Amino acid sequence: MSAWNQSLDAAGIREPGLRRDYGTQREYVARFRRTYYLAARLLLPKAVLPHVVAATAVMHHGDNLLDTGAKPRRVAAWAAWEQEIRKALDSGVSDDAMIRTLLHTTTAYPRLREVVEEYLSTATAELDFTGFATEADYQAYVDAYSLPAFMLVASLLGPQHDDGEFRSACRMLLDGSQRLDFVNDLAEDLAEGRLGIPAETLERFSVTEKDLAEGRESPGVRELVESQIEAARASLLAARELPALTANPNGVLLEAVVEIELLTADAALAHSARLLRGPVSPPVVGSLRVMLGARRRARRQR
């Protein structure tokens, strides 16, 4: 029996059609979020893996709908998807395989229902995003979009009853991760006419959006880029408390996520203003070392 079928069995997913639905989501996630799928497969208990795959599929599909194409197309696509999910949550049925797995996972993890509702209510912040005037605008974006999207998955990994500490630590991780993404993706975002670094931050370093768009690797640009990476690193380092707050064996996956993000930050810092030419990835050897170390800890905890 394959490891995936063992995971479905461990999760109590027996009905053949539902097993096929989860398998479809596994293929989707493995194709588009391969590194994190491999980490989840290595580190999560078998009974948790299918549900994390289902939530990750919804998160990634939502990202695509909100990010891809002209705004009118994105608005219409998101509205249709949101309506379909809400209708399914109310009725308990759906013609869509991805939504069927989401429904089943909310049955296994009832707390996910509230998380999905929050995500649907705030995700349109991504539709309106073209840039930020202030740091406060950036922080509002993290609260409205980045964190609710991440909580689709994180709520399955955390403690059954959260007094707010776990969510706060997730918020710290997302602050670091999102800021890092914005600086790492400068070249792509500028080509699409948007910028994730607040205008007031550019002004503080005497840098203009034109400087960035034209790839000027001036001292000011270098200082700007490096300050954003250092701010991201500070949040990621603070998020190292997240695995302990998880209070269950799932914490090793979040530990690996934090450490791989820190490796990405280190690579970005070494690249500095050259990020204007394209993004960096975490080193393969270092990432493997993180995952193997987390796997050893996971096995000791089981």
What are the residues whose beta carbons fall under 8 Å from the beta carbon of 50, sequence distance 6 or more? 7, 8, 11, 13, 22, 26, 101, 105
What are the residues whose beta carbons fall under 8 Å from the beta carbon of 166, sequence distance 6 or more? 154, 158, 159, 242, 245, 246
Radius of gyration of the chain, Cα coordinates, nearest whole angstrom: 20
CATH number of 1-126: 1.10.600.10
Residue given tokens 């989860």 in the structure block? 22
Rounded-to-integer distance, Cα 78 and Cα 57, Å = 15
Residue 1 is predicted with a pLDDT of 64
Residue 40 contacts residue 52 (beta carbons within 8 Å): yes
HSE at residue 161, side-chain half, CA atoms within 13 A, is 0
Every domain of the chain and the residues it spans: 1-126, 129-302
* Paired strand residues for 195: 131
Residue 298 is predicted with a pLDDT of 74
> How many angstroms separate the Cα of 178 from the Cα of each of 17, 108, 134, 181?
37, 29, 15, 5
Residue 297 is predicted with a pLDDT of 80
Q: Which amino acid is at 288?
A: L
CATH number of 129-302: 1.10.600.10
What are the residues whose beta carbons fall under 8 Å from the beta carbon of 72, sequence distance 6 or more? none
Per-position pLDDT tens, the chain of length 302? 689 999 999 999 999 999 999 999 999 999 988 888 888 999 999 999 999 999 999 999 999 999 888 899 999 999 999 999 999 999 999 999 999 999 999 999 999 999 999 999 999 999 988 899 999 999 999 999 999 999 999 999 999 888 899 999 999 999 999 999 999 999 999 988 889 999 999 999 999 999 999 999 999 999 999 999 999 999 999 999 999 999 888 999 999 999 999 999 999 999 999 999 999 999 989 998 998 898 888 777 66
- DSSP category for residue 123: G
Structure tokens at 232: 């991201």
* Paired strand residues for 131: 195
Question: Same CATH topology for 1-126 and 129-302?
Answer: yes
**258-287: b or e for each residue (b if 16 or more CB lie within 10 Å)?**
bbbbbbbbbbbbebebebbeebbebeeebb
Angle at 251 between CA 246 and CA 256, to 5 degrees: 140
**3-state SS record for 186-247:** HHHHHHCCCECCCHHHHHHCCCCHHHHHCCCCCHHHHHHHHHHHHHHHHHHHHHHHHHHHHC
Picking from 43, 59, 246, the residue whose alpha carbon sits closest to that of residue 160 is 246
Residue 104 contacts residue 18 (beta carbons within 8 Å): yes
Rama region for 278: left / alpha / beta (φ>0; ψ in -120 to 50; rest): left
